[in-house]
Amino acid sequence: MLRTTPTSRIDRQSQTFFRGLRLSAILLAMAIITGVIGFSTIENYTLTEAFYMTIITLSTVGFTEVRPLSDTGRIFASLLIIGNIGIFAYAVTNISRFLVEGGLKKLFQYRAMEKKIAQLKDHVIICGYGRYGQEIAEHFNRHKVPFVVIDNRQETIDDLHQRENTPYLQGDATNDETLEEAGIERASALIAALPEDTDNVYVVLTARQLKSNLKIISRATYQKAERKLKRAGADHVILPNQIGGFYMATLVTKPDAVEFFTILTEKGDELVSFEEVIFDSLPEGKTKQTIKELNIRKNTGANVVGLKTPDGQYIVNPSADTVIEINMGIIVLGTEEQIASFKDYMTRLIHPEEQA
């Protein structure tokens, strides 16, 4: 299967630049070859003399001929000028645009973008950079989560081009090749945030076929699309309108609770966030321990606010006597420093051999 490189999808304007340069080079080369062969044959010029005559003829700079031309030579030179003056002007125009309008700079930027995307690992692919995609990207930047954006709209690409810290691809997220270029085989999650539910279904279906264990989250405008997205392979489906309505209603019934949650999710003096660790294994002597015995609060400062059992059930605000089992997820709340301490503590607990 023929695959394009990520840079071929990044900016259509630059594709036009490069196509124009390639076409200019081909046409100019053909004109020069024609001139060299013609002058060599008609006037018995050497290759160097024929090349020189061809260049001054095509460019119409008016330098003196190597030797006076015969009548046939003058006719050939006139035809060469008439037939190729447009080609020469087209080539000069394209080269000037490439240099003046930033084509050369963009080329280096695209190469850097290509390398940046190739180095991503355990990143998130954001399909669609509309209102929700922008909010997601801003959140990921704030939390230092690696990601790459896929969008097909030229105005969006122009905007992304100005954001040096945002890796992006221009292309159709429903295509296998585009998702592969975004490094889906190395990604940890994909968010389908396109405006149309139908497009999100195709994105989810394509992504699930390419990577079976990928975490996929999709937005949906209409509730009837939720089941289709789940059948296509989405792990979670978010209905923004439903969430917005719930949020506004809760502001009336429980305004203080909403304000407190806003403090948890927005950046203040200290960034407070949630973190989850899955107990896929526990060393000998650490199995069947309770939350109290693990001393998470004492050792890290983070607070245990929830557990996820191996069968997918959630325990909210578990008691200190709750036993931690294999394949159980533990969810904590804390500042950035506390979360980092929690991650380090759990790594040392689950994999003590790595600390030896």
pLDDT of residue 236: 92
Average pLDDT along the chain: 81
Residue 338: is its pLDDT beyond 70?
A: yes
Residue 270: is its pLDDT beyond 70?
A: no
pLDDT of residue 287: 60
Q: Which of 4-13, 173-182, 257-266 has the highest mean pLDDT?
A: 173-182
- Alpha-carbon gap, residue 266 to 271, rounded angstroms: 7
% the chain with pLDDT above 90: 23
- Alpha-carbon gap, residue 91 to 97, rounded angstroms: 10
Cα angle value 198/190/106 (rounded, 5°): 95
Residue 37: is its pLDDT beyond 60?
A: yes
DSSP string across 117-139: HHT--S-EEEE--SHHHHHHHHH
The per-residue pLDDT for range 23-33, each reduced to its tens digit, is 878 888 888 89
Indicate the pLDDT class of residue 313, thresholds 50, 70 and 90: confident
Of 118 and 4, the structure prediction assigns the larger pLDDT to 118
The per-residue pLDDT for range 74-119, each reduced to its tens digit, is 898 888 888 787 777 777 777 776 666 555 666 676 777 778 888 8
Residue 320: is its pLDDT beyond 50?
A: yes
pLDDT of residue 210: 94
pLDDT of residue 107: 66
Residue 161: is its pLDDT beyond 80?
A: no
Average pLDDT of 35-45? Answer: 90
pLDDT of residue 299: 87
Residue 227: is its pLDDT beyond 70?
A: yes
Residue 129: is its pLDDT beyond 80?
A: yes
Question: Is 329 in a helix, a strand, or coil?
Answer: strand
Answer yes or no: are the C-beta atoms of 34 and 80 closer than 8 Å. Answer: yes
Residue 355: is its pLDDT beyond 70?
A: no
Answer yes or no: are the C-beta atoms of 214 and 189 closer than 8 Å. Answer: yes
Would you say the C-alpha torsion 58, 64, 66, 69 has a positive or negative sign? positive
Residue 328: is its pLDDT beyond 50?
A: yes
Question: Going by C-beta distance under 8 Å and a sequence separation of 6 or more, which residues neighbour residue 10?
Answer: 110, 113, 157, 168, 169, 170
* Residues paired with residue 225 on neighbouring β-strands, in sequence order: none
pLDDT of residue 289: 79
Cα angle value 163/167/172 (rounded, 5°): 110
- Alpha-carbon gap, residue 302 to 215, rounded angstroms: 26
- Alpha-carbon gap, residue 223 to 226, rounded angstroms: 5
Of 266 and 338, the structure prediction assigns the larger pLDDT to 338
The whole model's pTM is what?
0.62
Measured from the Cβ of residue 141, the count of other Cβ atoms closer than 10 Å reads: 13
Q: Which of 153-162, 175-184, 267-276 has the highest mean pLDDT?
A: 175-184
pLDDT of residue 9: 47
Residue 329: is its pLDDT beyond 50?
A: yes
Left if phi > 0, otherwise alpha if psi is -120 to 50, otherwise beta: which for 166?
beta
The per-residue pLDDT for range 281-305, each reduced to its tens digit, is 555 555 677 888 888 888 888 888 8
- Alpha-carbon gap, residue 94 to 96, rounded angstroms: 5
pLDDT of residue 95: 72
